[in-house]
Amino acid sequence: MLTEKTIQELTAAYRSGETTPTAVAEAYLARIAKLDREVGAYLTVTGEQALEAAAGAAARYRAGAPRSALDGVPVALKDILCTRGVPTTCGSKILESFVPPYDATVVERLRAAGAVLLGKTNMDEFAMGSSTEHSAFKLTRNPWDPARVPGGSSGGSAAAVAGGLAAGALGTDTGGSVRQPAAFCGVVGLKPTYGRVSRYGLVAFGSSLDHIGPLARDVTDAALLLRAIAGADPRDATCLTAPVPDYAAALAQGVRGLRLGLPDEYFIEGMDPEVERAVRTAVDVLRGLGATVERVSLPATPHALATYYVIAPAEASSNLARYDGVKYGLRVAGARDLIEMSSRTRAAGFGAEVKRRIMLGTYVLSAGYYEAYYGRAQRVRTLVRRDFDAAFGRVDLIVAPMTPNVAFKHGEKEDPLSMYLNDVFAVPADMTGLPAISVPCGFSVQGLPIGLQFIGKALDEAGVLRAAYAYEQATPWRARRPSLA
Amino acid sequence: MSTGHAAPAPMEVVIGLEVHAQLLTRSKMFCGCPTSFGAPPNSQTCPVCQGMPGVLPVVNRRAIEFGIRAALAFNCRVNDACRFARKHYYYPDMPKNFQITQYEEPLAEDGYLEIDVDGASRTIGIQRLHLEEDVGKLLHEGTLETAQASLVDYNRSGVPLMETVSKPDLRSPEEASAYLKAFRAVLVYLGVSSGNMEEGSLRCDANVSLRPRGARELGTKVEIKNMNSFRNVQRALEFEVRRQAQALGAGERIVQETRLWDADGGYTRSMRSKEYAHDYRYFPEPDLVPLTLDRARVAEIRAGLLELPRQRRQRFVSQYGLPQYDAELLTQSRALAEYFEAAVRELSQPKIVSNWIMSELLRELPADDERAIESSPITPERLAGLLKLVEAGTISGKIAKDVFQKMFVSGEDARVIVSREGLTQVADEAALGAVIDRVIAQNPKAIEDYRRGKTVAAKALVGQVMKATGGKANPGIVNRLLEEKLSQI
């Protein structure tokens, strides 16, 4: 089936003439039309534009001149990435009518690479959530079990890739939002080093924590997607200028002699024993492949989540101040003055979780509280970073569980705190900006995917990809597919 | 500190100024949009300066350079590293509802500016200098409170501003005005700002307080806004000083507040009191990395700094022997000072050149308008050329003034106009002799008077000769010939 092929398989088939980008785009659009009512991965499907792009790619293959390793590959974009002329809602009513006049840098780069953009995927409103249940528009179901969440906030992108509704996708990871849904949906999710991928056109949530990363069927595809979007961008002052290596070419080096650190703090009380077992088994596999594994300690880990919930809301309260009904998006009519217009617009346009975080963030930045909260949180952030620096003095990569549990049921986590706890293993890589990947490492008894995480040194995307690839190649997990109706 | 029923102590005025100057960069502080003034609303905007979702700021390097240049001219310490911060408040002219500015880590600190008031020199401290972005502009009928709708023009949004905060060292409205003028002269000189107050390129807020003379503690300060010309700054401060003096004299307390200057009414009125002060929730701008300022580069900028107006003024007095008044006028702008020096290079008669610039050129062009002076139709070389004709006696001073006017209109060389219009002084003694004979013949009465000893009558005859030659006769030759002829009669 065309929609089961990996990116690498697709482009090989295009080159050999076995199939064409048009046929593949049509197959995906047909599958979306048939199945997405059930999955709910997409907010917008851009069928016409996709077919047009596919026709262009097809012509290039016919001429024997494809643009890149992604030419003609159908990709989905989280609806937080600005797309020229295509609504970009961030899963929020306040941006329901917003159509950006510009492309995000990553979108520009995907287009330039010849990728076929299928549409925009569902997400927790402004990326605030771990289940995609905070979308203002629709529910997204986990392709492995429709009663369960796909994770979040990039739940739509993860479900699309897992459900065969896109060959690959981009998501964003501020507190685990690429890797956690990847783990829940049994796909690969990569969060690169902060600054490796331009944030221009990514609607900001927590500016110092926001990362764009790929979700893919396997590690090779993730490597191909990363290479296409990474690299310096003059429009993002925080973007790094280091050259972008050919990640896919360096995958097969194996893990022999690689030193892996297993952090004590990532095996906590209350975590799902099935997850722990799967992760420990995976570590044995890696050992069997020639890696050395040693215990390491990252003592600041328990504080990372708490400080994340100071820094991310603080930045969010600032970034979301611009949604006031003046310039674009929602404006509630009938206000008598400016303040009323803005407050009524914001009251109607933002969901409960977004409001909660804006209030939290406004509070921690207030005069008199700034030092006690924001200032101290930044210092803890430094401690978290030092933990990793110390560990990387002894090991090459950290290996750890991605989440404490498998995908939960819709409505199961109504208490915000228990939802936040879901990202306890994901947040440190965002706080430190270090590259991290989630790769499938088995299934629970109920058949739900489990994710294994690798965290690397700054700019060592190649390292985490290489370890994930070695593990993936040694295990059968990626052959399993969810059975959608 | 109670003075009981004693006579009110003489009060001391304490003023500090916060000056915002628009930097003369071609593009905005954080995006590539142009900064020119007066374009149709929202025509000079992009997603970045409109504060659209997902956009990011990128620092304008030129603005940083301009800031450093000004900081060095104001004798500030340029910090090795500086950082931008977000300042939050809701107002529709600010598209992101926060302003990118500098807070805890400004570009430069601890400088001073020397001013001259009534012949005495004073040093005014400068606390800090930082960069930030400007906001847009609201357009509505009447006041924002009563208007049915308001439109926003974001052309100005994101234009680079330099804010400079003086120490509370100013002791009178005159000093404040002198500070502002000296401040502006430096910026205009450095070419970092046009200093145009009417266009809003230079804006000034003042903190004003009074305290008993000799007291060390500062009195309660009031912030005055909306003073959009030099004249208004002085008027507003004079009013505010009077208002506070009267209030204190009547035993009232000064309320810490912001007051707006009403130029039409000639008074300040309360805008908001401290109780409603904003909590700006400053925090470091996460989208911009801290700026490290390369010391070598700062030294380079320092080395390239041009002579400042005050130094140049002093040099004009010592080097060219100009009166203080001339030197002050000629250093109103860098362009004018350079014009003067260029003309003097051609004709080393500084006082004559100065006189012509002050009386003729500045009648046509404003002294502080850099661009106008630079593009003057009469270049300094041409002015010198004109003055050389006077020096050589080719044309008279009076004719030269007419030639100046013609040069200003046509942009031609003085020699071209003089020869085309036949303005050369008549120095041909034979020709002049004939004119003089005719004049003598036509004025028997004057000749009679002259013979009877009324020598003034000769003056009238000289006038007649000049008139008959259309002012072109060389007056020296006319005098000599007339004297000779009269003595022969």
Nearest CA to A283 among A203, A156, A168, A395?
A395
> In this structure, what DSSP letter does residue B79 have?
P
Residues in chain B with CB shorter than 8 Å from the CB of A208 are 286
Asked if residue A130 lies in contact with residue A419, where contact means CB atoms within 8 angstroms, the answer is yes
- Beta carbons within 8 Å of A457's beta carbon, 6+ residues apart: A392, A396, A434, A435, A463
Reported pTM = 0.86
Q: What is the pLDDT of residues A328-354, one digit of tens each?
A: 999 999 888 888 999 999 999 999 999
B54-80 confidence digits (pLDDT tens): 999 999 999 999 999 999 999 999 999
- The answer to whether residue A328 neighbours chain B at the CB level (below 8 Å) is yes
Pick B53's closest partner by Cβ from A95, A315, A366.
A95
Q: What are phi and psi of B472, to 5 degrees?
A: -90, -15
The answer to whether B103 touches B136, Cβ cutoff 8 Å, is no
Report the C-alpha gap between A65 and A212 in whole angstroms.
29
In this structure, of A309-313, A338-342, A454-458, the range with the lowest mean pLDDT score is A338-342
- Please give the Cα distance from B274 to B257 (Å, whole number): 5
The amino acid present at B434, given as its one-letter code, is A
CA distance B298 to B78: 8
Q: What is the pLDDT of residue B4?
A: 44
Do residue B281 and residue A235 have CB atoms under 8 angstroms apart?
no
Residue indicated by tokens 């300022």: B293
Mind listing the pLDDT tens digit for each residue in A250-272? 999 999 999 999 999 999 998 99
Listing DSSP states for B22-51 in one string gives E---SB-SSSS-B--TTPSTTSS--TTTTT
The per-residue pLDDT of chain B, averaged, comes to 90
The residues on B that touch A, with CB distances below 8 Å, are 47, 50-59, 86, 88, 90, 92, 95-98, 144-145, 150, 152, 279, 281-283, 286-289
Looking at the complex, does the CB of residue A204 fall below 8 Å from at least one CB of chain B?
yes
Contacts of A102 in chain B (CB under 8 A): 47, 52, 55
Check if the beta carbon of residue A449 is closer than 8 Å to that of residue A406: yes
**B1 pLDDT higher than 80:** no
B144 interaction partners in chain A (CB closer than 8 Å): 338
Question: Could you give the percent of chain A with pLDDT greater than 90?
Answer: 95
Centroid of chain to Cα B257:
31
- Whether the CB of A333 is below 8 Å from some CB of chain B: the reply is no
Q: How far is CA B301 from the centre of its chain?
A: 23
Distance set, CA B96 to CA A251, A428, B47, B84, B132 (Å)? 43, 29, 11, 15, 14
User: What span, in angstroms and rounded, lies between the C-alpha atoms of A256 and B482?
Assistant: 118
Beta carbons of A328 and B52 less than 8 Å apart: yes
Q: Are B221 and B208 in contact (CB under 8 A)?
A: yes
Q: What is the pLDDT of residues B209-235, one digit of tens each?
A: 999 998 999 999 999 998 988 999 999
A200 vs B283: CB contact, 8 Å cut-off? no
What is the phi/psi pair of residue B116, to 5°?
-120, 120
Does residue B2 carry a pLDDT above 60?
no
d(CA B478, CA A269): 118
User: What's the CA gap between B47 and B459, in Å, rounded?
Assistant: 77
Q: Please give the Cα distance from A24 to A9 (Å, whole number).
A: 12
User: What's the Cα-to-Cα distance from B420 to each of A237, B391, B475, rounded to whole Å?
Assistant: 63, 20, 22
Encode pLDDT of B163-214 as tens digits. Answer: 999 999 999 999 999 999 999 989 988 989 999 888 889 999 999 999 999 8
Model confidence at B470: pLDDT above 90: no
Torsion angles phi and psi, residue B215, rounded to 5: -70, 150
| b/e code B200-229 from CB counts within 10 Å (16+ = b) | ebbbbbbbbbbbeeeeeeebebbbbbbbbe
Determine the average pLDDT of the residues in B227-246: 94
CB contact under 8 A, B283 and A95: no
Give chain A's largest Cα–Cα span.
70
A106: closest chain B residue by CA: B54
**Chain A residues 55-74 within an 8 A CB cutoff of chain B:** none
pLDDT of residue B7: 55
Instruction: Pick B283's closest partner by Cβ from A202, A321, A374.
Output: A374
Closest CA to A153 of A193, A205, A196, A87: A205
Distance between CA atoms of A351 and A320, rounded to whole angstroms? Answer: 13
Q: Which residue of B has its CA nearest to A326?
A: B92
- pLDDT tens digits, residue range A30-47? 999 999 999 999 999 999
Task: Name the 3-class secondary structure at A132.
Answer: coil
Widest CA span in chain B? 100
- The span from the CA of A479 to the CA of A242, in Å, is 35
Which amino acid, one-letter code, is at B450?
Answer: Y
Residue B379, Ramachandran bin (φ over 0: left; ψ between -120 and 50: alpha; else beta): beta
| pLDDT value at residue B273 | 59
Q: A201, B55: Cβ pair inside 8 Å?
A: yes
The dihedral over CA atoms of B370, B376, B380, B386, expressed in degrees to the nearest 10, equals -150
